[in-house]
Amino acid sequence: MVKNRIILFILAFLLWLLLSWSLSLKNLMLAVAIGALISWLAADMFVGKSNVLNRPTRYLWFLYYVPLFIWECIKANVDGAYRVLHPDLPIKPGIVKVKTTLKSDTGLTFLANTITLKPGTMTVDIDKEKGLMYIHWVDVRTQDTDKATKLLIGKFENILKRIFE
């Protein structure tokens, strides 16, 4: 537990310094205070299992996830702009059911936010016990659960599984 708080303190401290881009004494003291406050209040929220930090190589997958997410968002934005500007407004909205193998709350939250942050999709509900997510999709291409799973979450789920599980 103490290890998690120390690691979170260091990460919050470094992030504060990176974002403020200043090494003045005032800023260093503020970074220590912010880091201590965050590690005291939120260490249990960020790390529920004590063994999560034992494999730091898992976070290298995050470096793959971020550009992939940005690329998929750009594609979704272009698609959304096309739909808005098209005279016939080619949409076929609906809610589809997709299967997920993610079990951790953090992994499911990341996956749900990834879906919701892409234009044209929004996570409506998650059934953790059954491993299902219900997603509103502006252009439903299939009602088949397996095909919808592959189209909507296939690229992200495997990466998030490597990071969070």
53 has pLDDT over 60: no
CA 96 centroid distance within chain: 20
pTM: 0.67
Q: DSSP secondary structure string, 77-132?
A: HHHHHHHHHSTT---B-EEEEEE----SHHHHHHHHHHHHHSTTEEEEEEETTTTE
Q: What is the pLDDT of residue 48?
A: 54
Whole-number pLDDT of residue 86: 84
Phi, psi torsion values for 144, nearest 5 degrees:
-65, 125
Instruction: Over range 134-154, report the average pLDDT.
Output: 88
* pLDDT single digits (tens) 64-115: 888 999 999 899 899 888 888 987 888 888 999 999 999 888 889 889 999 9
